[in-house]
Structure 1
Amino acid sequence: MASSTIRSIKSVVPLLDRVLVQRFKPETKTASGLFLPSSSASSPLPEAHVIAAGPGAPNKDGQIVPMSVQPGDKILLPSWGGNQIKVGEEEYLLIRDSEILAKVME
């Protein structure tokens, strides 16, 4: 995990084909007010919100390949990979564009 020297997540700018995301926090309470145990909070495919995206990585010809996501997108992540960043109490993840499984269209 990265050191906590980062004061604001706005100061983190992803490079190349990296994407900064924040996973959605699992629901801890049902609509009727019942509290859920932490064991029921795990989802098979974690969902996340894209905070920032790099410009894209160059291909073998030197052309920049555009990113498949942009800030504000909702995505599905694999349960592995990426680098965690903690800013205060909030946790974020830096992943490669190619690791994103899907974009959730609403």
Structure 2
Amino acid sequence: MKIRPLQDRVIVQRVKEEEKTKGGLYIPDTAKEKPIEGTVVAVGNGKVAEDGTVRKLDVKEGDRVLFGKYSGTEVKIDGEEHLILREDDILGVIEK
């Protein structure tokens, strides 16, 4: 299934959670925190300004981004969990 977000919304897939600590201890599912980092899967057309022009988003597909812990709406697409966020909810882009 293909999904296209509207306006300034972005679809993000979270990175995989760490299974064990740096010391080698396994982390149980109940103690894991959801990561605040993910990869942009799809972006909307842009935000409509008051004068009617459309401003393109600063992020693009494939960007690795940081977002707030409680930001966005969780959805399942093809059995995988994704987040739908507004561009304002994205804190930054991780550059290599």
Counterpart secondary structure, 1:75: strand
> How many aligned positions are there?
95
Q: Which runs of 5+ in 2 are unaligned?
A: none
Q: Could you say if the C-alpha distance between residues 47 and 60 of structure 1 is closer, same or farther in structure 2, counting changes exceeding 3 Å? A: same
TM-score by length of 2: 0.85
Equivalent residues in 2 for 1:1-106, closer than 5 Å: 8=1, 11-29=2-20, 34-38=25-29, 39=31, 41-42=32-33, 46-106=36-96
Farther-moved stretch of structure 1 (21-30 vs 53-62): 21-30
Percent of aligned pairs with the same amino acid: 36
Higher strand share: 2
Deviations 1:37-65 (A, max 9, x none): 342x326x610100000110111111111
Runs of 4+ in 1 over 3 A off after TM superposition: 29-34
Q: Which runs of 5+ in 1 are unaligned?
A: 1-7
